[in-house]
């Protein structure tokens, strides 16, 4: 595979459970060394897409390649190159941390014991501790240490910070950033921690009811979204070139989420009624795009 080729390509993937469509004709690509965040509300199709990405289930339509190879047909060899941190860190509760590491070392030919030992030491985790005795945060840290010690070229993080406190979330993201800087690995992450992932993501995809409704570089995305508050109600946005994701009453005026903000277009609209223009965080954008009730 060329170094310029995408590390991951999702091509027209559809996943069904009976008559229900969980993932609907989704296509995206992840560049080597990039962090791609897959976002969506519960039930949007994230977990189904990740399971298919990892070769754990077969798509009903379309396909996924990792490093240029079909993940379903070559899942055994490809998973040797993929590190996984699942949503629920799991291991036999009576198994000790060092025994878990020995078991993983027997499965992965590129296992790096030194990397595992160093990370466990930084996390201040007792190697002789039983997995069931660890806190939820420590279990996630062990899972991350195991995944990174396999020397992966692709790291898949499935909602890795779910249930973690602020300190544990920060630590996990810092470890991912450090590893990327050291080895240039590619990362695919699903998460509800939008503030945390905003600091590391290069590109964002938003799933809504199984469809990919947004797929864009994060900085470009943030540059075109603005929250604009107008003193007047209503505002004649329909006659402008400005597109909106949401418009609602704001006091005696109007608040609009503009998805293609442009200074010149705002001037043409007439800025005398503009009370406030503010940038939007990834969380703000997500709510505007996918946050409607019942979606």
Nearest alpha carbon to residue 116 among 159, 81, 152: 152
Q: Which residue has the tokens 């990892």?
A: 54
Model pLDDT, residue 85: 92
What are φ and ψ of residue 143, in 5° steps?
A: -60, -40
Better-predicted residue by pLDDT, 219 or 249: 219
Lowest mean pLDDT among 100-104, 131-135, 272-276: 272-276
Q: For the segment 243-285, what is each residue's pLDDT rounded down to a tens digit?
A: 888 888 888 888 889 999 888 777 776 656 777 889 999 999 9
**pTM for the whole thing?**
0.91
CA–CA separation, 204 and 161 (whole Å)? 17
The yes-or-no verdict on residue 238 having pLDDT over 70 is no
Q: Is 235 exposed, middle or buried (0-12, 13-18, 19+ CB in 10 A)?
A: buried
- SS3 of residue 112 by DSSP: coil
């Amino acid at each position: 595979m060329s170094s310029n080729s995408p590390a991951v390509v999702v091509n027209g993937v559809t996943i069904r459970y009976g008559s229900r469509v969980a993932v609907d004709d989704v296509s995206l690509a992840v560049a080597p060394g990039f962090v791609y965040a897959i976002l969506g509300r519960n039930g949007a199709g994230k977990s189904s897409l990740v399971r298919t990405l990892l070769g754990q289930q077969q798509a009903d339509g379309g396909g996924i390649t990792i490093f240029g190879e079909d993940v379903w047909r070559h899942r055994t060899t490809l998973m040797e190159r993929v590190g996984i941190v699942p949503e629920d860190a799991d291991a036999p509760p009576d198994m000790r941390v060092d025994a878990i590491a020995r078991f993983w070392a027997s499965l992965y030919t590129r296992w790096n014991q030194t990397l595992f030992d160093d990370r466990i030491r930084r996390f201040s985790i007792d190697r002789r501790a039983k997995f069931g005795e660890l806190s939820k945060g420590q279990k996630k840290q062990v899972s991350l240490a195991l995944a990174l010690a396999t020397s992966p070229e692709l790291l898949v993080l499935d909602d890795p910070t779910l249930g973690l406190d602020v300190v544990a979330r920060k630590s996990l993201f810092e470890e991912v950033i450090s590893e990327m800087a050291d080895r240039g690995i590619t990362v695919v992450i699903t998460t509800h921690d939008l503030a945390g992932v905003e600091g590391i993501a290069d590109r964002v995809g938003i799933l809504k009811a199984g469809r990919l409704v947004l797929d864009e570089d994060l900085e470009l995305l943030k540059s075109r979204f603005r929250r604009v508050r107008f003193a007047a109600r209503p505002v004649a946005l329909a006659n402008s070139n400005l597109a909106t994701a949401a418009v609602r009453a704001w006091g005696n005026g109007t608040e609009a989420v503009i998805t293609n903000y442009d200074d010149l277009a705002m001037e043409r609209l007439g800025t005398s009624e503009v009370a406030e223009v503010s940038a939007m965080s990834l969380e703000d954008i997500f709510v505007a795009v996918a946050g409607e009730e019942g979606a």
